[in-house]
A = this chain, B = another copy of it.
Amino acid sequence: MSRQPKRAKPEEPKFNGRRPTINDVARLARVSKKTVSRVINKSPFVKEKTREQVDKIITEIGYSPDPMARGLASKRSFLVGLIYDQPNPQYVIDMQQGILDVIRGSGFELLVHPCRRQAPDFLQNVRAFVERQKLAGVVLPPSVSEDDALIKILQEFDCPYVRIASVPLDEPEHSIVTHDAEGAQEAAEHLAGLGHTRIAHVSGPDSFRSAHERRAGFVKGLKAHKLKLDKELDVKAAYTFQSGVEAGRVLMKLKEPPTAIFCGNDEMAAGVCQAVREAGREIGKHVSVVGFDDSPLASRLWPALTTVVLPIRLMGRMASTRLLGDSLIHEPPAEETLGEVHPKLVVRGSSGPARA
């Protein structure tokens, strides 16, 4: 008979087939289940010695508390919600990544909940979602972060939230501010500094506060160079590629087309680039184009897009750090505890000097 190393499976000394419960831990540690519960929830009222004893058993038998049972009893879940109405998929992915960076390994999970603000059942839908899931918190990127009715619902259900917004809100402790205007201003000054004087703007939809902010920052940047935004060069679009194409066509058909175009986001900038080329002009040479966001698209275009970098993933980390705070395992890095983000221009091939 070969001496088989008969050690138990390293991770799972199952209790006759089922996973261990808090009762198993209590029995083995010779304490009551309530004491185990205290240890799990880091209650300060447990003697150090007892805590050690319990922790030892917990790791020994590989116990982890059942989130459902915990949720039922304590009326809160370990689910973080991401509610969004975002036309830009890259934004969503980056935001998800940021949140996941933070909650990884902490026992929380991420529930994604896209929605459409203009749908008639929007509030009903979100209300049902929040009420049923008893979320540990929700992250609200634009534009849902600007919906007062939604905020009210969250407050009604005592659901913690963090809003991501382009301007400071009246609840700084519940928000991350991105100062979009600064980035837009920098973009305007960049173009003006290159000698452009006829500079157009393609802005996002009114439903996004950021669209206003970016436009306002842009106008401010122009002003610093004694320029102003010509009415016919001020075009409204929808943050989508197609709307950018159409806006670009309008601009290129003007009697005197602009020599530079600042767009409210990269998607629209890509659309504008397409329209510029349809008109037979060259990007970065005849017409400079600048975007906003620094989505992956920006660097994949040719020439690569000059754009304003918004660290969306970092914003996701900030938001979830703020939301979960002490419930997290490890100390968050300092940058994540801040609530402010400052966008920054990155110059690439799509913007060049105005031609004499």
Where the two chains meet, the residues of A that have a C-beta atom closer than 8 Å to any C-beta of B are 11, 19, 64, 66-69, 71-72, 77, 79, 89-90, 92-94, 96-97, 100, 109-114, 124, 128-129, 131-134, 241, 267, 270-271, 273-274, 277, 296-297, 299-302
Task: Write out the residue numbers on chain B whose beta carbons fall within 8 Å of the beta carbon of A19.
Answer: 131
Task: Write out the residue numbers on chain B whose beta carbons fall within 8 Å of the beta carbon of A79.
Answer: 111
Q: Are A68 and B112 in contact (CB under 8 A)?
A: no
Q: Are A67 and B301 in contact (CB under 8 A)?
A: no
- Shortest distance between the CB of A296 and any CB in chain B (Å): 7
- Shortest distance between the CB of A299 and any CB in chain B (Å): 8
Q: Are B92 and A300 in contact (CB under 8 A)?
A: no
Task: Write out the residue numbers on chain B whose beta carbons fall within 8 Å of the beta carbon of A90.
Answer: 89-90
In whole angstroms, what is the CA distance A92 to B72 when docked? 32
Task: Write out the residue numbers on chain B whose beta carbons fall within 8 Å of the beta carbon of A300.
Answer: 241, 267, 270-271, 274, 297, 301
Q: Are A111 and B114 in contact (CB under 8 A)?
A: no
Taking CB as reference atom, which chain B residue is nearest A244? B300
Q: Are A128 and B72 in contact (CB under 8 A)?
A: no
Please tell me which one of the listed residues B113, B134, B301 contacts residue A301 in the complex, with CB atoms under 8 A apart: B301
- Shortest distance between the CB of A324 and any CB in chain B (Å): 17
In whole angstroms, what is the CA distance A193 to B199 when docked? 45
In whole angstroms, what is the CA distance A64 to B129 when docked? 11
In whole angstroms, what is the CA distance A29 to B90 when docked? 49
In whole angstroms, what is the CA distance A89 to B296 when docked? 10
Assuming the A-B contacts A112-B96, A114-B100, A270-B300, are A132 and B66 also in contact, with contact meaning beta carbons closer than 8 angstroms in the complex? yes
| 7 A-B pairs closest in CB distance | A68-B71, A89-B93, A68-B72, A270-B300, A72-B72, A69-B72, A109-B111
Q: Are A114 and B134 in contact (CB under 8 A)?
A: no
- Shortest distance between the CB of A6 and any CB in chain B (Å): 20
